[in-house]
Protein backbone atom coordinates (compact mmCIF):
# COMPACT_ATOMS: atom_id res chain seq x y z
CA UNK A 1 0.00 0.00 0.00
CA UNK A 2 1.27 3.46 -0.86
CA UNK A 3 1.22 6.49 1.44
CA UNK A 4 -2.27 7.94 1.31
CA UNK A 5 -2.51 11.16 -0.70
CA UNK A 6 -3.65 14.43 0.86
CA UNK A 7 -7.19 15.29 -0.16
CA UNK A 8 -7.21 18.59 -2.06
CA UNK A 9 -10.17 19.92 -0.06
CA UNK A 10 -12.74 18.66 2.41
CA UNK A 11 -16.12 19.74 3.77
CA UNK A 12 -17.01 20.57 7.38
CA UNK A 13 -17.00 16.88 8.29
CA UNK A 14 -13.60 16.25 6.73
CA UNK A 15 -14.89 14.47 3.60
CA UNK A 16 -13.96 14.87 -0.05
CA UNK A 17 -17.08 13.88 -1.94
CA UNK A 18 -17.81 12.84 -5.52
CA UNK A 19 -21.13 12.29 -7.25
CA UNK A 20 -21.62 10.49 -10.56
CA UNK A 21 -24.85 11.35 -12.39
CA UNK A 22 -25.76 8.69 -14.89
CA UNK A 23 -28.27 6.52 -16.69
CA UNK A 24 -28.70 2.81 -15.99
CA UNK A 25 -26.45 0.79 -18.28
CA UNK A 26 -23.52 3.21 -18.47
CA UNK A 27 -21.74 1.58 -15.55
CA UNK A 28 -21.63 4.46 -13.05
CA UNK A 29 -22.20 2.12 -10.11
CA UNK A 30 -19.30 -0.11 -11.10
CA UNK A 31 -17.13 2.93 -11.82
CA UNK A 32 -17.77 4.27 -8.32
CA UNK A 33 -17.03 0.88 -6.82
CA UNK A 34 -13.75 0.54 -8.73
CA UNK A 35 -12.66 4.08 -7.86
CA UNK A 36 -13.45 3.67 -4.16
CA UNK A 37 -11.61 0.34 -4.12
CA UNK A 38 -8.53 1.93 -5.66
CA UNK A 39 -8.58 4.89 -3.29
CA UNK A 40 -9.21 2.86 -0.13
CA UNK A 41 -7.39 -0.42 -0.75
CA UNK A 42 -4.55 0.84 -2.93
CA UNK A 43 -4.09 4.50 -1.95
CA UNK A 44 -4.75 4.12 1.76
CA UNK A 45 -7.59 6.61 2.20
CA UNK A 46 -10.72 5.80 4.14
CA UNK A 47 -13.97 5.98 2.23
CA UNK A 48 -17.33 4.62 1.21
CA UNK A 49 -19.19 4.06 -2.03
CA UNK A 50 -22.90 3.54 -2.63
CA UNK A 51 -25.38 4.21 -5.41
CA UNK A 52 -29.03 5.03 -5.75
CA UNK A 53 -31.11 3.79 -8.63
CA UNK A 54 -34.78 3.28 -9.16
CA UNK A 55 -35.88 0.25 -11.11
CA UNK A 56 -32.32 -0.95 -11.77
CA UNK A 57 -33.15 -0.95 -15.46
CA UNK A 58 -31.17 0.37 -18.37
CA UNK A 59 -32.29 3.91 -19.02
CA UNK A 60 -33.36 4.75 -15.46
CA UNK A 61 -31.58 7.49 -13.46
CA UNK A 62 -28.56 6.43 -11.43
CA UNK A 63 -26.47 8.34 -8.93
CA UNK A 64 -23.24 6.93 -7.59
CA UNK A 65 -21.52 8.45 -4.55
CA UNK A 66 -17.94 8.27 -3.26
CA UNK A 67 -17.06 9.76 0.11
CA UNK A 68 -13.39 9.95 1.11
CA UNK A 69 -11.52 11.01 4.21
CA UNK A 70 -8.11 10.67 5.84
CA UNK A 71 -7.28 7.14 7.05
CA UNK A 72 -7.50 8.12 10.72
CA UNK A 73 -11.13 9.26 10.39
CA UNK A 74 -14.27 7.14 10.33
CA UNK A 75 -16.98 7.39 7.70
CA UNK A 76 -20.12 7.68 9.77
CA UNK A 77 -22.28 9.45 7.22
CA UNK A 78 -24.34 7.41 4.77
CA UNK A 79 -26.41 10.19 3.32
CA UNK A 80 -26.46 10.98 -0.41
CA UNK A 81 -23.85 13.48 -1.53
CA UNK A 82 -25.57 16.82 -2.00
CA UNK A 83 -22.48 19.03 -2.27
CA UNK A 84 -19.91 17.32 -4.49
CA UNK A 85 -16.32 18.46 -4.80
CA UNK A 86 -16.26 16.50 -8.04
CA UNK A 87 -19.33 15.92 -10.19
CA UNK A 88 -19.12 13.54 -13.17
CA UNK A 89 -22.01 13.59 -15.64
CA UNK A 90 -22.00 10.39 -17.71
CA UNK A 91 -24.38 11.60 -20.41
CA UNK A 92 -24.60 15.16 -21.70
CA UNK A 93 -28.38 14.93 -22.09
CA UNK A 94 -28.57 14.79 -18.28
CA UNK A 95 -27.67 18.48 -18.22
CA UNK A 96 -31.29 19.09 -19.11
CA UNK A 97 -32.45 17.25 -16.00
CA UNK A 98 -33.41 19.04 -12.82
CA UNK A 99 -30.89 18.94 -10.01
CA UNK A 100 -28.03 17.27 -11.89
CA UNK A 101 -25.65 20.16 -11.17
CA UNK A 102 -27.14 20.82 -7.73
CA UNK A 103 -24.99 21.70 -4.75
CA UNK A 104 -21.71 22.61 -6.43
CA UNK A 105 -19.12 24.60 -4.50
CA UNK A 106 -17.70 27.63 -6.33
CA UNK A 107 -14.49 25.62 -6.89
CA UNK A 108 -16.02 22.20 -7.63
CA UNK A 109 -14.78 20.17 -10.56
CA UNK A 110 -17.39 19.14 -13.13
CA UNK A 111 -16.69 16.50 -15.76
CA UNK A 112 -19.12 15.99 -18.65
CA UNK A 113 -19.24 13.26 -21.28
CA UNK A 114 -19.86 15.32 -24.39
CA UNK A 115 -18.65 15.88 -27.93
CA UNK A 116 -19.39 19.59 -27.71
CA UNK A 117 -16.76 22.34 -27.31
CA UNK A 118 -15.94 23.06 -23.69
CA UNK A 119 -17.42 26.59 -23.70
CA UNK A 120 -20.68 25.30 -25.08
CA UNK A 121 -20.86 22.67 -22.34
CA UNK A 122 -20.18 25.35 -19.73
CA UNK A 123 -22.99 27.45 -21.19
CA UNK A 124 -25.46 24.58 -21.19
CA UNK A 125 -24.51 23.53 -17.66
CA UNK A 126 -24.76 27.18 -16.55
CA UNK A 127 -21.63 26.78 -14.44
CA UNK A 128 -20.87 29.89 -12.44
CA UNK A 129 -17.25 29.01 -11.72
CA UNK A 130 -14.96 26.08 -10.87
CA UNK A 131 -13.16 23.66 -13.18
CA UNK A 132 -14.79 21.97 -16.17
CA UNK A 133 -13.56 18.82 -17.91
CA UNK A 134 -15.11 17.54 -21.14
CA UNK A 135 -14.42 14.16 -22.68
CA UNK A 136 -16.07 12.21 -25.50
CA UNK A 137 -16.39 9.10 -23.34
CA UNK A 138 -19.10 7.59 -25.55
CA UNK A 139 -16.97 7.90 -28.69
CA UNK A 140 -13.97 6.37 -26.92
CA UNK A 141 -16.06 3.50 -25.58
CA UNK A 142 -17.49 2.79 -29.03
CA UNK A 143 -13.97 2.82 -30.49
CA UNK A 144 -12.79 0.13 -28.05
CA UNK A 145 -16.12 -1.69 -27.80
CA UNK A 146 -16.34 -1.07 -24.06
CA UNK A 147 -18.71 0.79 -21.78
CA UNK A 148 -18.17 4.43 -21.00
CA UNK A 149 -17.43 3.87 -17.31
CA UNK A 150 -13.77 3.07 -18.01
CA UNK A 151 -13.48 6.26 -20.08
CA UNK A 152 -15.11 8.34 -17.37
CA UNK A 153 -12.75 6.84 -14.79
CA UNK A 154 -9.73 7.86 -16.89
CA UNK A 155 -11.06 11.41 -17.15
CA UNK A 156 -11.97 11.56 -13.44
CA UNK A 157 -8.42 10.56 -12.51
CA UNK A 158 -6.99 13.30 -14.67
CA UNK A 159 -9.27 16.14 -13.50
CA UNK A 160 -9.25 15.20 -9.79
CA UNK A 161 -5.48 15.59 -9.60
CA UNK A 162 -4.83 13.38 -6.55
CA UNK A 163 -5.91 9.95 -7.79
CA UNK A 164 -3.23 7.45 -8.80
CA UNK A 165 -4.11 6.30 -12.32
CA UNK A 166 -2.06 3.11 -11.92
CA UNK A 167 -4.05 2.16 -8.80
CA UNK A 168 -7.34 2.65 -10.64
CA UNK A 169 -6.12 0.64 -13.62
CA UNK A 170 -5.17 -2.16 -11.23
CA UNK A 171 -8.66 -2.07 -9.79
CA UNK A 172 -10.20 -2.12 -13.30
CA UNK A 173 -8.10 -5.12 -14.27
CA UNK A 174 -9.02 -6.89 -11.01
CA UNK A 175 -12.69 -6.23 -11.55
CA UNK A 176 -12.79 -7.67 -15.08
CA UNK A 177 -10.15 -10.39 -14.72
CA UNK A 178 -12.29 -13.08 -13.13
CA UNK A 179 -15.46 -12.77 -15.22
CA UNK A 180 -14.42 -11.11 -18.48
CA UNK A 181 -10.64 -11.49 -18.91
CA UNK A 182 -10.88 -10.64 -22.61
CA UNK A 183 -12.21 -7.19 -21.73
CA UNK A 184 -9.32 -6.14 -19.49
CA UNK A 185 -7.08 -4.82 -22.24
CA UNK A 186 -9.85 -2.91 -24.03
CA UNK A 187 -10.98 -1.26 -20.79
CA UNK A 188 -7.44 -0.21 -19.89
CA UNK A 189 -7.03 1.30 -23.35
CA UNK A 190 -10.35 3.11 -22.92
CA UNK A 191 -9.13 4.49 -19.59
CA UNK A 192 -5.83 5.68 -21.07
CA UNK A 193 -7.43 7.30 -24.10
CA UNK A 194 -9.87 9.30 -21.95
CA UNK A 195 -7.11 10.28 -19.51
CA UNK A 196 -5.14 11.65 -22.41
CA UNK A 197 -8.04 13.28 -24.32
CA UNK A 198 -10.04 15.02 -21.60
CA UNK A 199 -10.03 18.80 -22.00
CA UNK A 200 -9.88 20.84 -18.81
CA UNK A 201 -10.61 24.51 -18.26
CA UNK A 202 -10.60 26.72 -15.17
CA UNK A 203 -13.77 28.79 -15.29
CA UNK A 204 -13.49 32.45 -14.40
CA UNK A 205 -16.61 33.58 -12.53
CA UNK A 206 -19.15 34.71 -15.10
CA UNK A 207 -21.94 37.09 -14.14
CA UNK A 208 -24.14 35.70 -16.93
CA UNK A 209 -24.68 32.58 -14.87
CA UNK A 210 -25.30 34.31 -11.54
CA UNK A 211 -28.67 33.09 -10.35
CA UNK A 212 -28.49 30.26 -12.86
CA UNK A 213 -30.35 27.04 -12.08
CA UNK A 214 -27.30 25.54 -10.42
CA UNK A 215 -27.13 28.28 -7.83
CA UNK A 216 -30.46 28.07 -6.05
CA UNK A 217 -29.88 24.37 -5.54
CA UNK A 218 -26.91 25.19 -3.37
CA UNK A 219 -29.07 26.79 -0.72
CA UNK A 220 -32.07 24.60 -1.54
CA UNK A 221 -30.31 21.33 -0.91
CA UNK A 222 -27.91 22.52 1.71
CA UNK A 223 -30.47 23.89 4.12
CA UNK A 224 -33.21 21.30 3.91
CA UNK A 225 -34.94 20.79 7.23
CA UNK A 226 -38.37 20.25 8.76
CA UNK A 227 -39.49 23.72 7.68
CA UNK A 228 -38.52 23.61 4.02
CA UNK A 229 -38.32 19.95 2.96
CA UNK A 230 -40.35 19.42 -0.23
CA UNK A 231 -43.66 17.63 0.16
CA UNK A 232 -43.21 13.93 -0.53
CA UNK A 233 -44.86 12.12 -3.41
CA UNK A 234 -44.61 15.03 -5.82
CA UNK A 235 -42.74 14.75 -9.08
CA UNK A 236 -40.79 17.99 -9.26
CA UNK A 237 -39.50 17.34 -12.75
CA UNK A 238 -42.33 15.70 -14.69
CA UNK A 239 -41.69 13.93 -17.98
CA UNK A 240 -41.52 15.91 -21.15
CA UNK A 241 -44.78 15.10 -22.86
CA UNK A 242 -44.69 18.24 -25.00
CA UNK A 243 -41.38 17.56 -26.73
CA UNK A 244 -41.17 13.81 -26.12
CA UNK A 245 -37.45 14.35 -25.78
CA UNK A 246 -36.41 11.25 -23.93
CA UNK A 247 -32.77 11.48 -24.93
CA UNK A 248 -31.66 11.55 -21.29
CA UNK A 249 -33.05 8.05 -20.84
CA UNK A 250 -31.00 6.62 -23.70
CA UNK A 251 -27.32 6.04 -23.33
CA UNK A 252 -25.87 8.25 -26.03
CA UNK A 253 -25.77 5.19 -28.27
CA UNK A 254 -28.57 3.88 -30.45
CA UNK A 255 -29.21 1.31 -33.21
CA UNK A 256 -29.22 2.73 -36.73
CA UNK A 257 -31.46 0.74 -39.07
CA UNK A 258 -30.36 -0.15 -42.62
CA UNK A 259 -33.49 -1.20 -44.48
CA UNK A 260 -31.48 -2.32 -47.52
CA UNK A 261 -29.76 -5.07 -45.51
CA UNK A 262 -32.74 -6.25 -43.44
CA UNK A 263 -34.20 -9.70 -44.18
CA UNK A 264 -37.22 -9.25 -41.87
CA UNK A 265 -36.23 -12.21 -39.74
CA UNK A 266 -37.73 -10.66 -36.60
CA UNK A 267 -34.86 -11.54 -34.24
CA UNK A 268 -34.44 -7.93 -33.18
CA UNK A 269 -38.10 -7.69 -32.27
CA UNK A 270 -37.94 -10.84 -30.17
CA UNK A 271 -34.83 -9.54 -28.43
CA UNK A 272 -35.77 -5.93 -27.75
CA UNK A 273 -36.89 -5.60 -24.13
CA UNK A 274 -38.96 -2.52 -24.86
CA UNK A 275 -40.96 -3.53 -27.97
CA UNK A 276 -39.40 -0.71 -29.94
CA UNK A 277 -39.59 -2.18 -33.46
CA UNK A 278 -42.33 -1.15 -35.84
CA UNK A 279 -43.66 -3.40 -38.61
CA UNK A 280 -46.09 -2.75 -41.39
CA UNK A 281 -47.77 -4.64 -44.18
CA UNK A 282 -45.65 -4.77 -47.29
CA UNK A 283 -44.06 -7.12 -49.77
CA UNK A 284 -41.16 -9.50 -49.37
CA UNK A 285 -38.32 -9.91 -51.90
CA UNK A 286 -40.55 -12.13 -54.08
CA UNK A 287 -43.28 -9.49 -53.97
CA UNK A 288 -45.47 -11.68 -51.80
CA UNK A 289 -47.55 -9.97 -49.09
CA UNK A 290 -45.53 -9.92 -45.85
CA UNK A 291 -44.89 -7.92 -42.72
CA UNK A 292 -41.76 -5.78 -43.16
CA UNK A 293 -39.73 -3.98 -40.56
CA UNK A 294 -39.74 -0.19 -40.73
CA UNK A 295 -37.14 0.11 -37.97
CA UNK A 296 -36.92 0.99 -34.31
CA UNK A 297 -39.04 3.82 -32.97
CA UNK A 298 -36.24 5.55 -31.14
CA UNK A 299 -38.67 7.44 -28.97
CA UNK A 300 -38.83 4.32 -26.82
CA UNK A 301 -35.30 2.95 -27.33
CA UNK A 302 -32.95 3.00 -24.36
CA UNK A 303 -29.83 2.13 -26.31
CA UNK A 304 -29.08 -1.29 -24.83
CA UNK A 305 -27.97 -2.53 -28.30
CA UNK A 306 -29.24 -6.09 -27.78
CA UNK A 307 -30.81 -5.80 -31.24
CA UNK A 308 -27.48 -4.84 -32.81
CA UNK A 309 -25.81 -7.92 -31.31
CA UNK A 310 -28.55 -10.32 -32.48
CA UNK A 311 -29.07 -9.09 -36.05
CA UNK A 312 -27.59 -11.74 -38.38
CA UNK A 313 -27.00 -9.42 -41.34
CA UNK A 314 -25.71 -6.23 -39.73
CA UNK A 315 -28.89 -4.35 -40.58
CA UNK A 316 -28.63 -2.57 -37.23
CA UNK A 317 -25.40 -0.78 -36.38
CA UNK A 318 -24.20 0.95 -33.26
CA UNK A 319 -24.18 4.75 -33.55
CA UNK A 320 -23.23 7.54 -31.18
CA UNK A 321 -25.80 10.25 -30.74
CA UNK A 322 -24.28 13.35 -32.25
CA UNK A 323 -25.44 16.94 -31.93
CA UNK A 324 -27.14 16.67 -35.31
CA UNK A 325 -28.97 13.64 -33.94
CA UNK A 326 -30.52 15.69 -31.18
CA UNK A 327 -33.94 14.36 -32.09
CA UNK A 328 -33.20 10.86 -33.22
CA UNK A 329 -36.56 9.88 -31.88
CA UNK A 330 -39.73 10.04 -33.87
CA UNK A 331 -40.69 13.10 -31.94
CA UNK A 332 -43.83 15.11 -32.06
CA UNK A 333 -42.16 18.47 -32.00
CA UNK A 334 -44.98 20.67 -33.19
CA UNK A 335 -48.10 20.60 -35.25
CA UNK A 336 -51.22 18.49 -34.90
CA UNK A 337 -51.09 15.53 -32.51
CA UNK A 338 -50.44 12.96 -35.22
CA UNK A 339 -47.72 14.94 -37.01
CA UNK A 340 -44.73 12.80 -36.20
CA UNK A 341 -41.44 14.07 -37.54
CA UNK A 342 -38.24 12.10 -37.84
CA UNK A 343 -34.77 13.53 -38.21
CA UNK A 344 -32.44 11.50 -40.30
CA UNK A 345 -29.30 12.05 -42.29
CA UNK A 346 -27.54 10.92 -45.40
CA UNK A 347 -24.76 8.39 -45.13
CA UNK A 348 -21.89 10.74 -45.82
CA UNK A 349 -19.82 11.58 -42.71
CA UNK A 350 -18.16 14.50 -44.51
CA UNK A 351 -21.56 16.17 -44.67
CA UNK A 352 -22.33 15.58 -41.00
CA UNK A 353 -19.47 17.82 -39.91
CA UNK A 354 -20.75 20.56 -42.20
CA UNK A 355 -24.20 19.97 -40.76
CA UNK A 356 -25.51 19.00 -44.15
CA UNK A 357 -27.28 15.82 -45.03
CA UNK A 358 -29.89 16.17 -42.33
CA UNK A 359 -33.47 16.37 -43.29
CA UNK A 360 -36.80 16.38 -41.61
CA UNK A 361 -39.05 13.67 -42.79
CA UNK A 362 -42.74 13.85 -42.10
CA UNK A 363 -43.84 10.36 -41.17
CA UNK A 364 -47.55 11.01 -41.18
Q: Which residues bind ligand SF4 (CB under 6 A)?
A: 255, 262-268, 271-272, 274, 276, 293, 296, 301-307, 310-311, 313, 315-316
Element (H, E) at 131: strand 130-135
Q: Residue 310 CB, nearest distance to ligand SF4 (Å)?
A: 6
Q: Residue 288 CB, nearest distance to ligand SF4 (Å)?
A: 17
Q: Residue 255 CB, nearest distance to ligand SF4 (Å)?
A: 5
Element (H, E) at 68: strand 61-69
C-beta of 11 vs 297, nearer to ligand SF4: 297
Q: Residue 347 CB, nearest distance to ligand SF4 (Å)?
A: 17
Q: Residue 349 CB, nearest distance to ligand SF4 (Å)?
A: 22
Q: Residue 303 CB, nearest distance to ligand SF4 (Å)?
A: 5
SS3 276: coil
Report how far residue 121's alpha carbon sits from residue 29's, in angstroms, rounded to the nearest whole number. 24
CA angle 359, 362, 363 (to 5 degrees): 125
C-beta of 25 vs 47, nearer to ligand SF4: 25
C-beta of 218 vs 262, nearer to ligand SF4: 262
Strands 277-283 and 289-296: antiparallel
Q: Residue 279 CB, nearest distance to ligand SF4 (Å)?
A: 9
C-beta of 262 vs 343, nearer to ligand SF4: 262
Q: Of 331, 332, 355, 359, which Cα lies nearest the Cα of 345?
A: 359
Query: What sign for the dihedral angle of Cα 34, 36, 37, 38?
Result: positive
CB 251 within 8 A of CB 58: yes
C-beta of 93 vs 198, nearer to ligand SF4: 93
List % helix, strand, coil for the chain (3-state, nearest 5).
30, 20, 45
Q: Measured between alpha carbons, how far apart are the two ends of the chain, in Å?
A: 64
C-beta of 176 vs 300, nearer to ligand SF4: 300
C-beta of 233 vs 289, nearer to ligand SF4: 289
Report how far residue 9's alpha carbon sits from residue 305's, in angstroms, rounded to the nearest whole number. 40
> How long, in residues, is the chain?
364
SS3 302: coil
Amino acid sequence: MTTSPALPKTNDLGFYEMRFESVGGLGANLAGQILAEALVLKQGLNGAHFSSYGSEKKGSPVKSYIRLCAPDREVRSNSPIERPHLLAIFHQCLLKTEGVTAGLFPDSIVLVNSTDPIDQVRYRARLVSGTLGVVDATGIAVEFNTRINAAMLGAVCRVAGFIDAAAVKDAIAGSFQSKYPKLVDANLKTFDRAYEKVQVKELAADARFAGAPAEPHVSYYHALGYANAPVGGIILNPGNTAHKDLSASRQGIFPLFHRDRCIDCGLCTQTCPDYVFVWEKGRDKRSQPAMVLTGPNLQYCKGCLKCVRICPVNALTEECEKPEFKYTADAQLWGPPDALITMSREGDPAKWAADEGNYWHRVS
